[in-house]
Amino acid sequence: MAIIVRLDVMLALRKMKSKELAAAIGISEQNLSQLRQGHVKGVRFETLDKICAALDCKPGDILDRDEDQSRNPVRILGTDGKKR
- We report the CATH number of the domain holding residue 29 as 1.10.260.40
Instruction: Give the Cβ contact number of residue 9 at 10 Å.
Output: 18
The model's pTM:
0.78
The H-or-E segment that residue 63 falls in is strand 63-66
The backbone torsions φ and ψ at residue 56, rounded to the nearest 5 degrees and listed phi first, read 50, 60
83 within a domain of the structure (yes/no)? no
Spatial separation of the C-alpha atoms in residues 23 and 28, rounded to whole Å: 7
In which domain, by residue range, is 24 found? 2-76
Q: What is residue 16's predicted lDDT score, i.e. its pLDDT? A: 97
Spatial separation of the C-alpha atoms in residues 46 and 68, rounded to whole Å: 28
Q: What is residue 49's predicted lDDT score, i.e. its pLDDT? A: 98
Averages of pLDDT over each 10 residues, the chain, 84 residues: 87 97 97 91 94 97 80 56 55
Instruction: Name the pairing type of β-strands 74-76 and 2-5.
Output: parallel
